[in-house]
A and B are shown apart, each in its own frame.
Chain A
Amino acid sequence: MKHLASGAALALVLATPAFAQDDTMVIGVSIPAATHGWAGGMNYFAQAAIERLSETYPNLEFVLATASDPGRQVNDIEDMVATRNIDALVVLPFESEPLTGPVQNVKQSGAWVTVVDRGLSVEGIQDLYVAGDNPGFGRVSGEYMVEAMPDGGNIVVLRGIPTSIDNERVEGFETAIEGSGIEILGMEHGNWNRDESFTVMQDFLQRHPQIDAVWASDDDMAMGVLGAIEAAGRDDIQFVLGGAGMKEMIKRTMDGDAMIPANVTYPPSMIATAIEITAVGLVSQAPVSGEFIIGSVLVTPENAETYYYPDSPF
Chain B
Amino acid sequence: MKAAAILPRNLPMGVIGPILALVVLMAVGASMNENFLGWNNLSNVLARSAFIGIIAVGMTFVITAGGLDLSVGSMAAFIAGLMIMVMNALLPTLGVGIPVVLAGMAVALLAGLAAGLLNGLLITGLKIEAFIVTLGSMGIYRSLVTWLADGGTLSLDFTLRTFYQPVYYGGLFGIGWPIIVFAVVVVVGEVIMRSTTFGRHCAAVGSNEQVAKYSSVRVGRIRLMTYAALGLLVGVATIMYVPRLGSASSATGVLWELEAIAAVIIGGTVLKGGFGRVWGTVLGVLILSMIGNILNLTDFVSPYLNGAIQGAIIILAVVLQRETKAGT
Most chain A Cβ neighbours within 10 Å, of B44, B149, B306: B44
Q: Does A93 contact B (CB under 8 A)?
A: no
Q: Which residue of A34, A41, A207 is within 8 Å of B250 (Cβ)?
A: A34
Q: List 24 A-B contacts (CB under 8 A).
A: A34-B152, A36-B249, A37-B152, A37-B251, A40-B146, A40-B151, A40-B152, A40-B249, A41-B152, A43-B151, A162-B304, A187-B303, A188-B303, A189-B306, A198-B244, A202-B44, A206-B33, A206-B297, A207-B33, A223-B245, A227-B244, A312-B152, A313-B149, A313-B152
Partner of B150, one of A40, A220, A224: A40
Extra inter-chain contacts (11) besides given A159-B303, A162-B304, A207-B33, CB under 8 Å: A36-B249, A36-B250, A37-B152, A203-B296, A203-B297, A206-B38, A220-B153, A227-B245, A313-B151, A313-B153, A314-B153
Beyond A34-B250, A162-B304, A248-B155, is A40–B297 a contact (Cβ under 8 Å)?
no
What residues on B are CB-neighbors of A162 within 8 Å?
304
Shortest Cβ distance from A38 into B: residue: B152
Can you list, as one digit per residue, whether each of A171-205 has a CB less than 8 Å from chain B (1) or not (0)?
Answer: 00000000000000011110001110011101110
| Residue B208 interfacial (CB < 8 Å) | no
Closest Cβ of chain A: how far from B205's Cβ, in Å? 35
By size class, the interface of chain A is: 35 or more
Q: How far is the CB of A89 from chain B (nearest CB, A)?
A: 22
- Cβ-neighbour of B249 out of A37, A186, A199 (below 8 A): A37
Determine whether A44 belongs to the interface, using a CB cutoff of 8 Å to chain B: yes
Q: Which residues of A contact B40 (CB under 8 A)?
A: 206, 232
Q: How many contacts between A and B, using CB within 8 angstroms? A: 91
The closest CB in chain A to the CB of B153 belongs to: A37
Q: Say yes or no for B210: interface residue by CB 8 A criterion.
A: no
Which residues on A are within 8 Å of B, measured CB to CB? 33-37, 39-41, 43-44, 159, 162, 186-189, 193-195, 198-200, 202-204, 206-207, 220, 223-224, 227, 231-232, 248, 312-314
B245 touching A194, Cβ below 8 Å: yes
B169 at the interface (CB under 8 A from A): yes
Q: State whether the Cβ of B247 lies closer than 8 Å to any Cβ in chain A.
A: yes
Nearest to A188 among chain B residues (CB) is B303
- Residues on B with C-beta less than 8 A from A43 are 151
Asked whether, in the complex, the Cβ of B296 is within 8 Å of the Cβ of A188, the reply is yes
In the complex, are the beta carbons of A200 and B251 less than 8 A apart?
no
In the complex, the answer to whether B146 meets A33 with C-beta atoms within 8 Å is yes
Option from A36, A204, A224, A232 in Cβ contact (under 8 Å) with B296: A204
- Tell me which residues across on chain A come within 8 A of B244, comparing CB atoms: 198, 227
Expressed in whole angstroms, the Cα–Cα distance for A224 and B52 within the complex equals 18
